[in-house]
Structure 1
């Protein structure tokens, strides 16, 4: 894969700029849309928020491109993946669910768009409210094709295979244990170096931001300076029948044009794609006793209008030290008013060493009880509570949402990886009750 440049995203909401080094001074000086742009470029604004949003939440970037993005033929309906936003297509199911590793196609070439599969979700892209959770499984690069999402933002979590994602803003290489966010409306194409699989959290309501740190203070969790955004890189290429795939109101549409859409020579703004290396997360935890809530591991959040209630949180459980005394250290048994979709990027999850496998997933919907399996409970209840390393060589993540999630037919049946024996991991928990302590 061709190397490329990245630069630090110096802070969410900050203005920054980039121009391809082949065209110095491509950015106009003094105004965004002069009568004539340098190099004969077209000025185009990409807005990720209402024009009149407050300054701290106003998202937009100016793109200076060889051809405007409007130059394409009419869209037509496209059936090319297992994307599905019909939340009433399958019967509600409150059971704990676990999937074995999702299958990667082998019999034919499948690219990123063709390999999209919806597992669960809630809401309506038309009203800009809700989320969807997808799996992608592919073995081929996108050829003469790009994709953009008119409905919301994609948070992409690779589990297997490195991707080179070409965007209008430049190129980003994303490997397992990294994440990439492609925001609403941004065109991109995915190249892979072999069989690839991963997870996608899609939000309709707004955009991902760093969580408030509250009593933690100024430092900790994901640091703004560790987020990277690409530098401008343009392709001036005429292509017969280049396909632009648009996800609009939950359906796919395709339009043809005769050139590459990645012809942005320069750009500036605060609405950009970005990546983050999960190994840079600065975990915090108890240094005395008790088990803090998993919210202390939040990397990014999409907040709702209710203070403290998220449309969706992206949470990880990274390698760290466990030092709490007089405490059951693994995740405790719990029921809550959030739904939790978990995936394993690599390694072995501390609370379920068997059955929860990298490339698979689990879902514990709203108020469905869950927690460590019987073997984990037994070991953690009798373990010597000395300082211990947890999750070395492992990365588990969670998509947490305040919505009750509906499962698609693909997630229940068509994927063929649903583990119908998941419930058995708790059945050997013993009754330890004694009427009096002796």
Structure 2
């Protein structure tokens, strides 16, 4: 599959490699040599450590980054709840405020919203668990049309996996700048502060926030050492900072237990001159994903399309898997090629970035829309896809040209928020009826007498 081409240029510099140790300095000599925290850091900078795991986490899991900045991150006023009632309604994952239902759900495309910025354009659609216990996940939609001003935002709850569907995100983080477009993804780790501006106008997309652990590449097992997402194709920012000698007021937003807080500070949050470590934001071009599949018969499990995973405490299951369905060749012989009908112990939230998904041909699953098939909720191809695939000539066929569908899959049973079920007014009331009620009976009982 060719690397994705973009119309919007990317002006920023990156380091490559996933889960690697990186170091970067915007001013030569800003990184200390031989120790992390010298008595006096170079150029009069402050030393600060950003810890993504416990200090005593096993070495292979340990995520820490040292930053060297002009003013420490602690220098701000007290946080105050920001418009707590209305924001809490959009963001909460408290169990008693989520609707846990077995119905198959599908949403029409979510609206753009040109009136709000990134922070106020976040809407929880489904979730499970509790960020205070570092358990579970939240699935959000974002829609914004305004740049953030002299502001920064961070989530204390978990890592944001951002999947753009429309528009360009120019993300200024403490550790450097990233530009993200549809068919790319970006991960902003818990606690990293950032600001989002919109160089091409309104934006819309999906987020999977994990409250426990961090995203990592899946194990490859018998696949070997290559294929799927390769570590070298991930990009991390290089150090870049704002040098503001005069005091200037900034607003710092914190997403803390799914509630928005805000604090004032008199200096820029983006003053990290140098950093080194393995805890940082990163981006990935989905066009670089190396798809594999069956070359004999039968349809393999969709786990072979996993880009990133956040493992749970039980080996082989995940808080969240990020799975994509990019353009690919189907060659399996004697096989029903779309995904089969199934019931799954995992919950599956699906979105569509562009094009048409080959297992849903009825027109109800559109870009910027979504579906949710919760734990053990039966689902599969709609009637049109079944008829087409059952009678298709089984020659080599490329599917998904111009399309990119994805799935957030989780071992958790997820509840749907009030916003997702009612307020957004996007739920398709006849999804089940349109998709599977038209399925016909073809069974002929050979033991039944005429």
2:287 is the alignment partner of 1:279: yes
Structure 1 CA distance for aligned equivalents of residues 382 and 250 of structure 2: 50
327, 330, 334: which one aligns with 2:342:
334
TM-superposed CA distance for 1:4, in Å, is 3.7
Structure 2 CA distance for aligned equivalents of residues 90 and 214 of structure 1: 37
Structure 2 CA distance for aligned equivalents of residues 427 and 406 of structure 1: 25
Which residue number in structure 1 is paired with residue 95 of structure 2? 87
Which residue number in structure 2 is paired with residue 364 of structure 1? 373
158, 161, 164: which one aligns with 1:158:
164
Would you say the 8 A contact 1:168–1:264 is kept in 2? yes
Which residue number in structure 2 is paired with residue 432 of structure 1? 442
2:293 is the alignment partner of 1:289: no
Would you say the 8 A contact 2:12–2:179 is kept in 1? no
Which residue number in structure 1 is paired with residue 5 of structure 2? none
Scaled by the length of structure 2, what TM-score is found? 0.94
206, 224, 227: which one aligns with 2:231:
224
2:415 is the alignment partner of 1:406: yes
For residues 367-425 of structure 1, give each alpha carbon's deviation from its aligned partner in whole angstroms, at most 9, with x where no partner exists: 00000000000000000000000101000000000000011100011011111111122
307, 311, 320: which one aligns with 1:312:
320
Which residue number in structure 2 is paired with residue 148 of structure 1? 154
Would you say the 8 A contact 2:253–2:263 is kept in 1? yes
Structure 1 CA distance for aligned equivalents of residues 218 and 72 of structure 2: 36
Which residue number in structure 2 is paired with residue 184 of structure 1? 190
TM-superposed CA distance for 1:278, in Å, is 0.3
387, 390, 395: which one aligns with 2:404:
395
Q: Name whichever of 403-412 and 416-425 sits farther off.
A: 416-425
* Equivalent residues in 2 for 1:69-108, closer than 5 Å: 69-79=73-83, 81=87, 82-106=90-114
| Runs of at least 5 residues in structure 1 that lack an aligned partner in the other structure | none
Structure 2 CA distance for aligned equivalents of residues 167 and 2 of structure 1: 19
Scaled by the length of structure 1, what TM-score is found? 0.96
TM-superposed CA distance for 1:167, in Å, is 0.2
Which residue number in structure 1 is paired with residue 129 of structure 2? 123
Structure 2 CA distance for aligned equivalents of residues 163 and 325 of structure 1: 42
Structure 2 CA distance for aligned equivalents of residues 420 and 110 of structure 1: 28
Would you say the 8 A contact 2:18–2:235 is kept in 1? no
Which residue number in structure 2 is paired with residue 34 of structure 1? 38
Structure 2 CA distance for aligned equivalents of residues 86 and 6 of structure 1: 40
For residues 321-365 of structure 1, give each alpha carbon's deviation from its aligned partner in whole angstroms, at most 9, with x where no partner exists: 000001000011000100000000000010112100000100000
Would you say the 8 A contact 1:6–1:228 is kept in 2? no
Which residue number in structure 1 is paired with residue 388 of structure 2? 379
Which residue number in structure 2 is paired with residue 206 of structure 1? 213
For residues 156-214 of structure 1, give each alpha carbon's deviation from its aligned partner in whole angstroms, at most 9, with x where no partner exists: 00000001000001000000000000001000111112111000000011000000000
